[in-house]
């Protein structure tokens, strides 16, 4: 709910041009620095949690395999959709800030996560851990608010969605199918049954809910694997989205983020691919978010 409020307030401010002209150029900087803070806080939270670090040691390889499979399946199907329906738009020029940002993200995103993990593992006092969640939450709200301001002041953003029409719903559909199928394929290599691999893949990057659901309805180890897999997917998405955009994949760059393109990875898409892609990313992420609590319990009950 807070994400929608932050985005909605930003949309109103941007649409009515309530932000002074001298401050309008600050939204990009706000998104960038808020993202670094969010990533560092996420990394520190992981490093400071002994259960997560123990899970990484035990299930880390499986989590990486499943996250990679889910992302690869999503990219493949959305890429085919983009080419088939000719959904792509003009790629930003080299002089465009979005195009320049695509290269920068590939460097400082992993750096922020690793820096945060090392700090959480070695330096952070245990009683500071709750502050990490608050810091990450405030950074996320600030990012989404800045995205909303940009989006509200850019009419071309909504023209892009109207041009695509109902085909906009095909994007999250392809991401969902690609995520589940990709996870099942890599699950075979990881020695996992179809029901577990598919349910983990159906988390679509929403690690908190998918992990809790599978812990409650199935098994704590599978819930831990779902948590780690979808955390890994989210972190990988921060790096892969800019790389896809640099290859001219303006719609496909949404695919890795899955459900997170309605919140944490939305500013990344906006930053590297332009504000025009924000409505499509938000609609896709919201649709996948609604599918997670439906698909995860359903797929874990498969008899194979």
pLDDT in tens, 38-97: 888 888 888 887 777 777 777 889 999 999 999 999 999 999 998 886 654 444 433 344
Query: CA angle at residue 9 from 5 to 13, to 5 degrees?
Result: 170
Using CA atoms, how far apart are residues 124 and 271, in angstroms rounded to an integer? 31
CATH domain 2-299 topology: Na+/H+ antiporter like fold (1.20.1530)
Q: How many other CB atoms are found less than 10 A from the CB of residue 287?
A: 20
The residue with tokens 């992302």 is 71
Enter the tokens of residue 178.
Answer: 């690609």
Question: pTM of the full predicted structure?
Answer: 0.83
Enter the tokens of residue 229.
Answer: 């897999």
3-state secondary structure of 90: coil
**pLDDT for 30:** 84
**pLDDT for 92:** 43
Q: Are 274 and 266 in contact (CB under 8 A)?
A: no
pLDDT in tens, 252-284: 999 999 999 998 899 889 888 888 888 899 999
As a whole number, mean pLDDT of residues 175-200 equals 97
Q: Are 240 and 256 in contact (CB under 8 A)?
A: yes
Contacts of 275 by beta carbon, 8 Å cutoff, 6+ apart = 147, 150, 151, 154, 156, 157
Arithmetic mean of pLDDT over the chain: 84
Confidence of residue 196 (pLDDT cuts 50, 70, 90): very high
**pLDDT for 5:** 87
**pLDDT for 302:** 94
Burial 257-279 (b: 16+ CB within 10 A, else e): bbbbbbbbbbbbbbbbbbbbbbb
Confidence of residue 24 (pLDDT cuts 50, 70, 90): low
As a whole number, mean pLDDT of residues 161-179 equals 87
């Amino acid at each position: 709910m807070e994400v929608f409020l932050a985005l909605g307030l930003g949309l109103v401010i941007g649409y009515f041009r309530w932000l002074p002209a001298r401050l309008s150029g600050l939204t990009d900087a706000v998104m960038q620095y808020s993202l670094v803070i969010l990533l560092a806080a996420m990394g520190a939270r992981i490093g400071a949690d002994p259960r997560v670090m123990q899970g990484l040691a035990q299930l880390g390889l499986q989590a990486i395999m499943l996250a990679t499979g889910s992302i690869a399946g999503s990219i493949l199907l959305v890429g085919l959709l983009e080419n088939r329906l000719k959904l792509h738009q003009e790629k930003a020029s080299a002089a465009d800030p979005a195009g320049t940002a695509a290269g920068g993200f590939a460097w400082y995103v992993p750096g922020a996560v690793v820096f945060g993990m090392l700090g959480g593992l070695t330096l952070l006092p245990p009683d500071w851990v709750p502050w990490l969640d608050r810091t990450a939450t405030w950074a996320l709200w600030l990012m989404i608010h800045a995205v909303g301001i940009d989006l509200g002041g850019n009419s071309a953003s909504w023209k892009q969605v109207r041009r695509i029409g109902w085909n906009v719903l095909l994007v999250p559909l392809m991401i969902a199918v690609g995520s589940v199928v990709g996870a099942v394929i890599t699950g075979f290599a990881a020695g996992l049954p179809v029901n577990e691999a598919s349910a983990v893949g159906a988390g679509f990057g929403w690690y908190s809910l998918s992990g809790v659901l599978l812990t409650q309805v199935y098994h704590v180890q599978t819930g831990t694997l779902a948590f780690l897999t979808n955390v890994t997917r989210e972190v990988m998405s921060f790096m892969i989205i800019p790389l896809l955009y640099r290859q001219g994949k303006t719609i496909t760059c949404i695919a890795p983020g899955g459900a997170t393109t309605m919140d944490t990875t939305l500013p990344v898409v906006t930053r590297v691919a332009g504000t025009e892609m924000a409505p499509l990313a938000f609609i896709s992420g919201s649709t996948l978010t609604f599918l997670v609590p439906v698909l995860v319990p359903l797929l874990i009950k498969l008899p194979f």
